[in-house]
Structure 1
Amino acid sequence: MKSKMTARQRQMIMLLLDSSEEITAAEIAGNIGVSVRTVHREMEDTEQILHDFGLALSRKSGKGIQVNGSEKGLEQLRIFLQEEKPAEYSGEERQLFELCSLLETEEPLKLFALAHTLKVTVATVSNDLDELEPWVHKFGLQLVRRRGYGVEIAGGEADKRRALSRLAAEHLDQSDLVSRVPRTGESIVFRKLLDAVGQGRFLTVESLLWDMEWSWTSELTENVYMELLLGLSVSVRRGEIGMVIRGTEDAVYSRKPELRNISGAEQFVKRLEEKLALKLPKAEIGYIAGLLDRAQESISSADFVYGDIGLMDTVYRLTEQVVKRTGIPFQGDRILREGLLEHIELAIRRIREGTRIRNPLLGLIRKDYQYLFRIIRDAVEELGLDLAVPDEEIAFLVMHFGASAERLNQLNHKVRAILVCASGLSSSRLLGERLRKEMPQLEIRGNASWYEAARISREDYDLIISTIDLPLEKDKYIKISPLLTAEEIDKLMRYIQNMTLTEKDSPAFPEHNQPSDVEAAADRIRSYRGLLDEIEGLIERFRCGPLDNEGTDLPDTIRKMLDKLHGSGVIDAPEILLEKLLERERMASQVIPDTGLALFHTRSSHVQMSSLTAYRLKRPLVLDGHTEVGTVLLMLAPRKLSKESLEVLSEISAMLLDSELVHLLEERPEPEIRSYLSAGLLRFFENKK
């Protein structure tokens, strides 16, 4: 029996059949008016339809996709396309529409009304709802169905907003949210979701947020910044349709001591109301303050060890497994290590939360990096993680290692470019390395988010290369697909050549605006000085000694450590730091795996200078449920930390995975430990040059 196809799948297949040569996913997306992500999402079902006719898709790196098979199979497919009436929507699209409809109303909806809109039977809608029920429960919501009553999603408004934000994260690209002109040709399902999350107000919210001029917003990672904007955009949309956070003014302001950004939320809400002619209840101020607080807290949680030491151990073991299998010295690539730390922490959270994981480049990576994909899959299995890691996450890891492999052979460049990529840090790094490989004259100055790209000074780059539509004039950047086809390489080359010729004849960019070799050398010297100053200060301030913690629990033990530092000029508020350190311990184990050593660490405005101290306890503490810890290493750093300081502290964290350093900290005298740290950090500094 032939597979039932949707209208979109029909369009994709017809495009492939009508093309005499390979066609890229980006070209398919452009022709049918969807995102590249959507094309890749549909590709698996499309392949199954082709398989029913004895046909297959072939993918050629740098060229695109083509249908292969016998003439008989191709002819049968063409006849089928002429005779078959496509289904209006796929099952996934129906369920998305149903969820958005239910979350957008406080009244029950009749099943027959949903069925009529979607052009399916009531039984089909009922089956969809059966499948959706577990998903709805994950957000603390209930799917209420009663005969003669209809169906509704019951629960708190904040939980409904979380559900909408998750739908957006799973089904929308960043470009869908920031594009000034909505894509044409999309179904009502796509439009329904965009409307439900307030896409029409997204850039207005972003502009208002930036106008607040809060210093901490510029420190947010791209993912956190997008989550914050999405949360604010959803709040505006819900306010516009009357679905608001309920509560009294007294309830909101009774929470004021625990909401750091309550005053900022008041100002922001006031500007929102003025700009959008909107009136929000006082309870919304508390909700928005909570969104701002969570975003700001993400900065302090992104500490120099990127989470708990167990994560560092996982990254170290994974890298060693891949090195053993490939012979490539990945362990020497600090960009790889930092990228893996950032990605794996988020990946583990996604897997544990049961978040649907999408990687639009999975098929391409499996084909182009087949050898590396298999190696990394084996390496992950070897780690013995208590998690089922899907192929989509393996593909993300392949991006990191693939970028590192190409980075180890990078060349010198001349044209300064900023890269904007919607698929995340790993794909942008991989694309950056491919660009460098294809065009040695390119110097990728950094991977920027769409909101950063709109604000980077024109003096800092020659060219913006983006895989998504940007809220900029079309002549301010060049758009390519993440696949970087041969045609796009030619297009980019011509663009660079034209730009170079234009700028050569134009006085718009005078000579003194271009960074000279002298300026670049001065920047390096300043960076080296910063590294040496941080290393020297940490080594000089390092102390290791006994601590009498007889008869005390963990909080009192840490309090004793902080008391030793108080008055030294390192810290000024021990009690605040104590709470931050205990909070981190509650979030994740601080015990270094397979040792009796624990690392407690935090960053705070109450730390005046970086500090590293070790304490040998008179009475071991039992942490992580059963592990006896006899030595505690305390690492503190100021809230505002230079890039060089961050690198040094991260390097020390990595050194703790060395059994020799652990042995020294647990048993040897302070001078020996200081010498070992000095030698390790000196090697780190010399490798930076």
Structure 2
Amino acid sequence: MRKMTARQRQMIGLLLGVSEEITAAEIAADTGVSVRTVHREMEDIEGILKDFGLDLSRKSGKGIQLSGPEGGLEKLRVYLREEKPAEYSGEDRKIYELCSLLEAEEPVKLFALAHSLKVTVATISYDLDELEPWVRKFGLKLVRRRGYGVEITGTEVDKRRAIGRLAAEHLDQSDLVGHVLPVQGNPVFNMLLSSVGKNKLMDVENTLWDMEWKWTAELPEIVYMELLLGLSVTVRRICIGREIDLTEDVGYPRMSDHRNIAASEQFVLQLGHILGMTFPRTEILYIAGLFDRVQESFSSTGFAYGDIELVEIVYRLTDSIAKRTGVPFLRDRSLREGVIEHINPALKRIREGTRIRNPLLGPIRKDYEDLFQTVRDSVEDLNLDLVIPDEEIGFLVMHFGASMERLNQLRRSVRAILVCASGLSSSRLLATRLNKELPQIEVMGNVSWYEAARLPEEDYDLIISTIDLPLPGDRYIKISPLLTGEEIEKLLSYIQNTVPKEREEPPAGESGTVVREEAAFDRMKSYSVILEEMLSLIERFRLYSLDNSGMNLPATLAVMLDMIADFGVIGDTGLVLDRLLERERMASQVIPDTRLALFHTRSSHIHKSSLTLYRLEQPVQLDGETEVRVILLMLAPRKLSKESLEVLSEISAMLLNTELVKLLEERAEPEIRRYLSSELLRFFENKL
């Protein structure tokens, strides 16, 4: 019979102590862990219960309940009374070991780790064998010698990367930014929070926000959290004397390219005043480098629409699921945009071997059993040469489940803001569930936790969140993205008892009318930006015939850029050329089953968006032996509005239309311009 941990005993005890279902959220509250941890533990608990002839019954909208014969239940009760629990799960042990070794100043004896974890030295040695590949991913080395002990060696920069990844894999945003008290009896959880500087993290975050930099406000939430973790870990490491030594870290590619050194100096001056600490010059350079890299990461993630290979993957996946289900998913523009935005970083995480966690995987499988299998089958048909885990399938199911439920658009009266930890998939699923189950709630949009913490209260009636927030408990309500029946009742009660009555139906001429008028004005401005972007792109569109005889790809692209340099589109053609070639090396630019390629990039050296078409005298080779005779060049500034990105995204998606491809390959400039104008106008009208 397998050994159970103290946490598993506590959860099983809760299940034994109730006669009805209990929700994962209630178990999480009673045991002091996150909902994600509860779902993860339930998988192991199911195996334990089978030894007693018992099952876990999970009912959608109600919760979790033990089921089985009374004899099995009684045996389990006796076992809990008599059996001494394992102090830590295998996963907990490894987190403890990594935190200990990454914070240690000198080698740690194996027996010391074994004593702390109440296991044998052999168990610790086995754990370290399993941890070694993970440590190597960060350029670190796990050193073990008899009589010496064990330590993790490598640069301080790489150790910080490892700590950040460890936190990202095992902590929820609620754990990091919510009002979470230290969990009694769970030193592993508290040790990891300590390693990332939880006690000073919100001081770091408030300082970052107070800088009022435009680029931080524009960061996607996942990138913002990555930056915040990096900064918090930096503060923690300085506090325990683990500063960066440039003589040790000479192998590190760069501390900063000098773009953000002044910003870093300003940031640490303010943060140092709040925390009562000073930052060495090397740390100022390191923080400037963090700023550099998240800005670069953001600029590339915003251009996912231009990756025609990615767009094709999403199109094929959506088409396959539509044919299997009979649901017209291809008509849902919101679905396409959401999946494209999600799948780009998801594939990157899978290729890098990053552990993917989906705390809602169990409920998703229960509530969307048929759709889950359909999405799994459709993903396998793509032949991506990647192993897509069930956790990632679950996120895709949330996107398609949201699309299926995006039906009832009724009149609403209560203004709600959504905060979801899992990004667009969970926020869109929750929004459509709310539309269907509680149409009186007007979902005004989804925001990050750090935006929600600073929204003026007059801008909304309630905040609905799937995570703990750094706000008083009466300022928001926490539910799951699946919106169970129990949570619907909880939400209705919250609205009736908490949301101010005068704000539910604001009288004409008062603040509600003003807010609606401001929202209408904002939409008009957004439409204006979209129209302006469409008009400027169509007006600047040109078709060129290019004699590239004897030229290779770089020379051909250089001539293409020179041809539009005089129109004020490009500043430094050499740097833009480098970016185009870099993207070509990273992924195929060829439109599938055509002799047409889309070359695209965003750069601070591009001054305005541009769309130009080139028909070549001689074909050029791309992607191995693939030859293309027609190149569509799409350029855009690095800083680009959401509306401009939407327009460029729409043009990229059009390239999957064989009619447009044929026009680009064969027809004259006026015909291509008319087609683009017609399709973009249809896109604009659908937004109204």
Question: TM-score, normalising length from structure 2?
Answer: 0.95
Partner in structure 1 of residue 554 of structure 2: 555
Partner in structure 2 of residue 159 of structure 1: 158
Partner in structure 1 of residue 622 of structure 2: 623
The answer to whether residue 176 in structure 2 is matched with residue 174 in structure 1 is no
Structure 1 residues 197, 253: CA separation in 2 closer, same or farther (over 3 Å shift)?
Answer: closer
d(CA) in 1 for partners of 2:263, 2:480: 39
The answer to whether residue 610 in structure 2 is matched with residue 611 in structure 1 is yes
Partner in structure 2 of residue 270 of structure 1: 269
d(CA) in 1 for partners of 2:614, 2:302: 21
Whether the 8 Å contact between 2:256 and 2:288 is mirrored in structure 1 is: no
Structure 1 residues 523, 152: CA separation in 2 closer, same or farther (over 3 Å shift)?
Answer: closer
Whether the 8 Å contact between 1:605 and 1:640 is mirrored in structure 2 is: yes
d(CA) in 2 for partners of 1:141, 1:57: 41
Partner in structure 1 of residue 415 of structure 2: 416
Partner in structure 2 of residue 195 of structure 1: 194
d(CA) in 2 for partners of 1:640, 1:505: 38
Whether the 8 Å contact between 1:336 and 1:400 is mirrored in structure 2 is: yes
User: In the TM superposition, what is the alpha-carbon distance from 1:519 to its structure 2 partner?
Assistant: 5.3
User: In the TM superposition, what is the alpha-carbon distance from 1:601 to its structure 2 partner?
Assistant: 1.6
Structure 1 residues 27, 590: CA separation in 2 closer, same or farther (over 3 Å shift)?
Answer: same
Runs of 4+ in structure 1 deviating by more than 6 angstroms, as ranges, are 248-257, 505-510
User: In the TM superposition, what is the alpha-carbon distance from 1:185 to its structure 2 partner?
Assistant: 3.0
Deviation per CA, 1:584-604, whole angstroms, max 9, x where unpaired? 333333222232222122233
Whether the 8 Å contact between 2:414 and 2:504 is mirrored in structure 1 is: no
Partner in structure 2 of residue 428 of structure 1: 427
Structure 1 residues 500, 178: CA separation in 2 closer, same or farther (over 3 Å shift)?
Answer: closer
Partner in structure 1 of residue 641 of structure 2: 642
Matches within 5 A, 1:372-383: 372-383=371-382
Alignment partner of 1:306: what SS?
helix
Deviation per CA, 1:305-352, whole angstroms, max 9, x where unpaired? 435210110000000001101111111112211111121112211211
Deviation per CA, 1:369-416, whole angstroms, max 9, x where unpaired? 001011111111111110111111111100000011111333332211
Code of the residue aligned with 2:341 in structure 1: it is E
Alignment partner of 1:621: what SS?
strand
The answer to whether residue 439 in structure 2 is matched with residue 465 in structure 1 is no
d(CA) in 1 for partners of 2:97, 2:510: 59
Alignment partner of 1:407: what SS?
coil
Partner in structure 2 of residue 72 of structure 1: 71
State which drifts further: 460-469 or 5-14. 460-469
Alignment partner of 2:405: what SS?
helix
Partner in structure 1 of residue 683 of structure 2: 684
Partner in structure 2 of residue 96 of structure 1: 95
User: In the TM superposition, what is the alpha-carbon distance from 1:184 to its structure 2 partner?
Assistant: 3.0
Structure 1 residues 515, 415: CA separation in 2 closer, same or farther (over 3 Å shift)?
Answer: farther
User: In the TM superposition, what is the alpha-carbon distance from 1:216 to its structure 2 partner?
Assistant: 0.7
Whether the 8 Å contact between 1:102 and 1:153 is mirrored in structure 2 is: yes
Alignment partner of 1:65: what SS?
strand
d(CA) in 1 for partners of 2:424, 2:503: 33
Structure 1 residues 112, 520: CA separation in 2 closer, same or farther (over 3 Å shift)?
Answer: closer
User: In the TM superposition, what is the alpha-carbon distance from 1:507 to its structure 2 partner?
Assistant: 10
The alignment yields a C-alpha RMSD, in angstroms, of 2.4
The answer to whether residue 337 in structure 2 is matched with residue 352 in structure 1 is no
State which drifts further: 159-168 or 272-281. 272-281
Code of the residue aligned with 2:191 in structure 1: it is K
d(CA) in 1 for partners of 2:255, 2:63: 56
Deviation per CA, 1:153-197, whole angstroms, max 9, x where unpaired? 111111111111111011000011112442433511001111111
d(CA) in 2 for partners of 1:568, 1:502: 57
Partner in structure 2 of residue 672 of structure 1: 671
Q: Percent identity?
A: 68
d(CA) in 2 for partners of 1:505, 1:327: 39
Partner in structure 1 of residue 478 of structure 2: 479
User: In the TM superposition, what is the alpha-carbon distance from 1:525 to its structure 2 partner?
Assistant: 4.1
Alignment partner of 1:417: what SS?
strand
d(CA) in 2 for partners of 1:155, 1:217: 31
Gaps of 5+ in 1: none
Structure 1 residues 17, 249: CA separation in 2 closer, same or farther (over 3 Å shift)?
Answer: closer
Structure 1 residues 38, 186: CA separation in 2 closer, same or farther (over 3 Å shift)?
Answer: farther
Structure 1 residues 531, 483: CA separation in 2 closer, same or farther (over 3 Å shift)?
Answer: closer
The answer to whether residue 331 in structure 2 is matched with residue 332 in structure 1 is yes
d(CA) in 1 for partners of 2:216, 2:244: 24
d(CA) in 2 for partners of 1:532, 1:181: 46
State which drifts further: 519-528 or 384-393. 519-528
Structure 1 residues 174, 385: CA separation in 2 closer, same or farther (over 3 Å shift)?
Answer: same
Whether the 8 Å contact between 1:205 and 1:229 is mirrored in structure 2 is: yes
Structure 1 residues 446, 222: CA separation in 2 closer, same or farther (over 3 Å shift)?
Answer: same
Partner in structure 1 of residue 600 of structure 2: 601
Structure 1 residues 115, 500: CA separation in 2 closer, same or farther (over 3 Å shift)?
Answer: closer
d(CA) in 2 for partners of 1:254, 1:43: 43
State which drifts further: 581-590 or 437-446. 581-590
Gaps of 5+ in 2: none
Structure 1 residues 235, 250: CA separation in 2 closer, same or farther (over 3 Å shift)?
Answer: closer
The answer to whether residue 123 in structure 2 is matched with residue 124 in structure 1 is yes
For this pair of structures, how many residues does the alignment match? Answer: 688
Question: TM-score, normalising length from structure 1?
Answer: 0.95
